[in-house]
Structure formats: C-alpha cells, structure tokens
Structure 1
C-alpha cells in the first residue's frame, strides 16, 4: 500500500463491546441519585425507560445513515451527504466544529466522574482530584496509541469487566429478596400532570446522558466488518442490553436503600454494596466501578478521534488531522489533540456542568440535524437508496426530532443559549473560511506550526 488506510477488522462482538463500554461509563453510577432527586418519588424509573426509548428510536436514524455511509467520522459524513453539496458542507463543518468542543467535554466528564468516585476509597483535595482526572486521560491516550486490532481486543476485555460488575450489583439486590418491591410501588403517589412532565424532562437530560454512545460504532464505520449488518445490530443489542442493566441496577438499589438516601448519596452504588455486604466488599465494588469509568473514556476517545480525521481527509479541516500513524494506521494527530483539550477541560469544569453542556451543544446539529437530513436524503434519493430501512418510516424520525427538541429545552436557558452561541460562532467561522482570505491564511500558518 502506497498510503496508510483504515482497515475493517472490528467484529460485531468488538463493535458491541465498544458501544456498551462507551454507554455505561461513570454516568449511571453518578446520575442515578440525580435522577431520583429530580423525580422525587418511586416513579424515577420512568426516566430510565424514557432514555431507552429515545435511544432506540434515534438508533433507527443512525442505522439508516450508518449503513448507507459506513465510513470514519459518522455524523460528519451523514450531514454532508444528507443535505446536499452546499448546505451539507456547512452542516458537516458545524458538526466538526462542535465536536472539537463537546467531544473533549465527554471525555473529561468521564475522567472527572472517575476522580469523584475515587473519593469513596480515599479522600482527595481539589488539586488531587484534578490530578487523578488528568492522569486518566493521559493513560487512555497511551492505550489508544496502537492499531485497531489490538484496540478491539482491549475493548472486549474492558467490556467483560463492565458486564460482570453490573450483573454483580444487580444480583446483590436480588439476593435480598425484595427485588420486585420498587416495581410494585412505582406508581405510588403518581400524578400525570405538568409537574411530572417537567420533572421527567429534566431527569431525562441526565438519564439520556447515560445512554449516549449507542452510535459510537458509526464513527468507526470505516473499520467495521460487514457494516450493513453489524452497525444496526451492534446498536440495538447495545441499547437493549444496557437498558436492562440500568433498570435492574436501579431496581436493585431501590429495593435495599430508602429513596431519601438514594437522592442524597454521592456514592450510591458503593453505599448499596456496603449495606448488603460490608465496607470491604464496597471498596471492591468501587474499584470495579472505576474500571467501568475507565473503559468508557477509552471507548469514547476512540470513536471521537475518527471525526476530525474524516473531516481533514475530506479537505474540510486542518490537513494535519488527516495523518495516520505510518505503521499502526490510526489518526494519531486527532487522538493527541482531543486528548490534550480533554485534559484541559478536566482541569476546569465540574461534572454536573459538563453533562448539560454536552447535550445542549450537540442536540441541534448532530441529533436533530441528521434526523432532518435523513428526511431530506430520502426525499431526494428515494427510500431504495438506504441500505437499511426502519419500520414505519417516517414516524420514528419525527418522534426523534420532537423528543430531542424537548430534551434541548430541558437543559435550561443558559445551556440552550450556550449551544446556540457555539453554533452561531461556527457559522461565522465557516463564512470566513469559505468566502474570505482571513481563515485560509491563518490555516496555513497553524498547519506549519503544528507540523
């Protein structure tokens, strides 16, 4: 080969493992208490069901686009192809623009959560906590600095740890003999009104965060074996598996700990294990939770590193990001830059700030944008153009758009404005890049500097 190329070596098992490890992470362990506090009643389980339903519906959109355009970069290609030559360039640029901000936020959120949960094992000061989160990101970049075959094997090993830990947590609640009690009382005091709808919306912002990653396989589309079959399968298997694990974990915890304790706890799973098996076992459980958090950072960083690479290879981003490692064939410049930005974010932000910012920043372009793009593509090319077709089209697409709009509103005014501001700034930069000589000149200087 005269030029390094991405190669298709990821199997269905490995793709599913990458998805599931990205989805779980530290999210459900930190967010469980937040969701319970927002809902403030045994019906907090509905927020986790809502997150699963949204993920399943949205995965249909990703499946159609992912199988039709199975290349590195995922949404970058979807937006570019769906909206046509002119608008597609703008939308795909905006996606890469917001990815360079929100992807490091996702990576940083998992690293911050890792450091936060470490405090159950050992009390950490402010700077010690920042040091832990920073070291997690450095180690992740080190492990990802290798070929995709090795990464696939590492992903499966990390995924096994994730599944074993979740099953152990769930079985602990089952063994207590009260596992079904939270389900029996899920509607105690329940009233379907505007207050419940508002609480469900706010709680769903947090629960959806814990499901994000079901589409990670689409960012690795150029490295998946038989993508037309394995991309949809890996997403639906991941969502179904994670939804069952999340619901069972929440039910298990609620069958042992009182709701008031769940709502106020910073280490709810560790306290749950301590209640049923003692402090030493709780420490082991905490170590396994940290394993899961680490696995999530690993998987998320892997997927996101392919997006700037895909854009640069297409001529829409700095050319230096299109470089592949000469012997290991992975986008090393993209990996190193995202890792460096994520390291900086992990030093600056707190976890709760990051979660809402992640959703607000990506909903408009990535989720709503590509759903609208699928409608436009289907109208322009016809439904036979799609390599995988969702049932009941276009109902799932319309539902996905409406639900994402609701989630966007639920992030709050400040986060909505921040998301809109980032998008507007991206549009200005795109205009300067495309129609003036200001950014091309800056681009050439930065490229020489990075080299």
Structure 2
C-alpha cells in the first residue's frame, strides 16, 4: 500500500539518522537535570556508581531490543515483539497492554524533557514565575506537535541537525568542566560511602539505578520506527549498540567532569543555581556568565530535540497496533498527504502536557519513578521473556542479529528492572508508583476485555495465529 491510501509507511531512515535519533532522545536534557538527583541519591561524588549501573542495564536491555528489532522490524517496536511472541496463549492481550501503557509512559518521559527545559530557561530568565514556566512548557509541547505535522524524512533531517547541537552543548560543558577540574573534588568520597552490608547504600543504589536508566532511555527510539528504517536487520542493532556505547562514554565523562568542577554540596542546596541548572553553574564558574548563557541556549535546543524525537517515535506505537486490529481503529489513520499517524501524535501531545504539569507541581524524581514503574511491567519484563518465547516458538525466524552470550543479558536485564521496580515506592514516598502502575495495568486488562468483545476476538473467539514475519521470510 502507498502513503496515499492512508495506511502504509516508507523506509527512509538510515544508520546515521537512526543513531542520531536514538542519541538525541537518550541525551537530551536528562543528564543536565539529574546529576544533582544522582548526587542526592548517593550522598556524594560516589554518584558515579549510578551512571555505571544505568549503563550496564541499558546495554544488556539494548541487546534484547537489538535481537527483536532486527528480526521483527515493524512500526511500533515492543507492540510487534509482544504480538508475535504471546499470540499463542493470550491472543492479543499483551500487545494491547503494551500500547495501553505506552500511551502513558512514553509521553511521561517526554514531559521530563519539558520540565528540564523550563528549569534551564530559568537561568536565562531569573524572574520567571511558576505560572510563566507552566505556560512556556505547554507552548513548547504545542510547537513540537506542530513540527511533527509533516513527513518523517524532514523530521529525520531536523533531528540529525539537532543531534549536532546536542553534541556541541555536551562538549562545551565537558571542556568547561575539565578546564576547571579538581581531582580532589571529583574523587574524594565521604567516609563509608560504599557499605555493601548497609541497607541505606542499597536504597541509594536503587534510586541511582532508576535515575541512571531513565537517562539512558531512548536507545530504542529507532525500533519504534522499524517500518521506516532502511535495511532494519543491519541498521537497528547497530544504531542501538552504537547509541548505548556512545552515550555511556559521554555520561561518565560528564558526571566526573561536573563533580570535579563544582563542590557537590552546592547541588543539594535548592537555593543554589547548581541544583536546578548544574551545567550552567559549571559554565559560569569556568568561563563566566556570558558563555554560560550562550551554552545554556544550546542545552535548551537539546531538550527540545529530545522531546521532538521522542514524540516522533512514540506516535508510531499505536499506529501499527490499530492497523492490525489490536488497538482502537481510529489510531490507524495516517495524514492523507504527509503520512504520519494523526491521532497517536495528538494523544501523546496531550498526555505529555499533563505529565509536564505533574512534574512541575511535584518534583522530577517523582515523575521519573512514576514513568519507570508503568514501563517495567509490560515492556521490560514481557519483552525480555519474548526473546526466549520467540526462539522456541519461531526457531526458523530470520535473525540477522542474535543476542551475545544469550541468555545472560536477558537475566541481568530482568534483575536490573526488578530492582528499579521493587524500590519505586521507597524512592517516591507518598506517591505509590507501584500501586499506580498496577492499577493502570488492571484498567488496561478491563479495557482489553471490553474491546475484544466488541471486536469479537479472543477470549470471545478463537485465537488468530499469524506469524507474520516468519511467513514473510
């Protein structure tokens, strides 16, 4: 089918563009707003442990995505993987639940980028009030939706250009950090900083792992665009692995550099600029306020790019599900001339706005814990299981990439996500992210039962086993 008929997507995204989309989404504003959170979690410069732990979890989980994305290169990412793996026992339940949860956690991730944008804008606009910041964030989301109202190849080129801005901003902060670097500040840890037999250390580790993996999220963005990627069996695994390894190096250098440039105690003081705009504080200390303002502007562009690319990929998630009658049919409609999913983009834009307001009126740490718990149950755990299920159910499925050292990365990823989920309530006291995530999934199951009755599919009809990619091969 062609784009003109309102249902088909075309393959236009190559390796460099896919990697740029991933890295723009991964880096974005994340490390610039979470370094103080990481320091607070660990209680000192030993916070670097959290970045290392997050990198390990991102890498092993990235290998899960790499195998699934290479063998099942469809639009929607996890939706396709769960549909193919779990259709034998539960029909369309798992892909439906994934789309149901993704319609919440993907825009919540984007909303953290908008929260960070407003935080850094406050450095350039010291008199910005709370209502001013709210209006700016909502206007930014509206602008992103407007820009995404066009063909994907144009957005891919824009994302590539913004990736260059992101690299420039990160390099500027790195250079400023290491020209004002003190090894004593960076590597002098408090007494008893690492006590493996003490429960408080593991509570801090869990909080740091949650923040760390949040900052690495985005290595899978190109997989959501699988139906629009050229040579997906080659491009998707490479783009995921290159993205994780590249951002891993950048984050470690950035974390150590910032800790060496500033006294970490400043990052815990809510009245200090280092608490809300730590990169601007580093630039100001090293080069003065003029340079700090200039690079802060680039950081704002970086935040904007992360929201843009995230909503670009996320809006495709309900599209393929609806086209295959696994989600509400209205989400299968593409724009008649520009070929993008209209309702998916609008829905995620609205939820992003809601998440932004939640983050503004609670705190960023709470928002991060809410989005990660919603994501873990259906996407992380079920997708890890999907690798094994597909190897057993579809052994002849072409796999251009097979997970290294299988099943060790799957097991390690599952343990890491279990730590993130199990400690969520303690990391966001009073907000009960675990309970909210379970409630959201339970409502999703109810929605599935009602939807399946209307659509007359399992459990109200026999299962439909398609094995789409195995048949196509």
For normalisation by structure 1, the TM-score amounts to 0.93
Q: What corresponds to 2:286 in structure 1?
A: 276
Q: Does 1:233 align with 2:238?
A: yes
Q: What corresponds to 2:296 in structure 1?
A: 286
User: Residue 154 of structure 1: which of 137, 158, 164 is its match?
Assistant: 158
Q: What corresponds to 1:431 in structure 2?
A: 449
Range with greater deviation from structure 2 (48-57 or 264-273): 264-273
Q: What corresponds to 1:137 in structure 2?
A: 141
Note if contact 2:22-2:243 (Cα within 8 Å) is conserved in structure 1: yes
1: CA distance, partners of 2:166 / 2:276: 20
2: CA distance, partners of 1:43 / 1:349: 27
Note if contact 1:182-1:251 (Cα within 8 Å) is conserved in structure 2: no
Q: What corresponds to 2:102 in structure 1?
A: 99
- CA-based RMSD: 2.0
Provide closer, same or farther for how the CA distance between residues 88 and 165 of structure 1 changes in structure 2, counting only shifts above 3 A: farther
Q: What corresponds to 2:333 in structure 1?
A: 323
In the TM superposition, residue 337 of structure 1 has moved relative to its aligned partner by 2.2
1: CA distance, partners of 2:234 / 2:21: 16
For normalisation by structure 2, the TM-score amounts to 0.88
In the TM superposition, residue 335 of structure 1 has moved relative to its aligned partner by 1.1
Count of residues paired in the alignment: 438
In the TM superposition, residue 347 of structure 1 has moved relative to its aligned partner by 3.3
> Superposition pairs for residues 27-426 of structure 1, below 5 Å?
27-122=30-125, 123-176=127-180, 178=182, 180-181=183-184, 184-185=187-188, 189=192, 190-193=194-197, 194-264=199-269, 265-350=275-360, 351-382=364-395, 385-412=398-425, 414-426=432-444
Note if contact 1:213-1:300 (Cα within 8 Å) is conserved in structure 2: yes
Gaps of 5+ in 1: 440-451
Gaps of 5+ in 2: 270-274, 427-431, 458-473
User: Could you say what secondary structure the match of 1:196 adopts?
Assistant: helix
In the TM superposition, residue 383 of structure 1 has moved relative to its aligned partner by 7.4
Which string of whole-angstrom CA distances, capped at 9 and with x for unpartnered residues, describes residues 216-240 of structure 1?
1110000111111110111111111
Range with greater deviation from structure 2 (403-412 or 193-202): 193-202
In the TM superposition, residue 183 of structure 1 has moved relative to its aligned partner by 6.2
Note if contact 1:38-1:203 (Cα within 8 Å) is conserved in structure 2: yes
In the TM superposition, residue 41 of structure 1 has moved relative to its aligned partner by 2.3
In the TM superposition, residue 255 of structure 1 has moved relative to its aligned partner by 1.0
In the TM superposition, residue 195 of structure 1 has moved relative to its aligned partner by 2.5
2: CA distance, partners of 1:438 / 1:50: 45
Note if contact 1:432-1:438 (Cα within 8 Å) is conserved in structure 2: no
2: CA distance, partners of 1:209 / 1:72: 23
Note if contact 2:72-2:81 (Cα within 8 Å) is conserved in structure 1: yes
User: Could you say what secondary structure the match of 2:405 adopts?
Assistant: coil
Q: Does 1:9 align with 2:22?
A: no
Which string of whole-angstrom CA distances, capped at 9 and with x for unpartnered residues, describes residues 385-427 of structure 1?
5331012111111111111111111211611111111111111
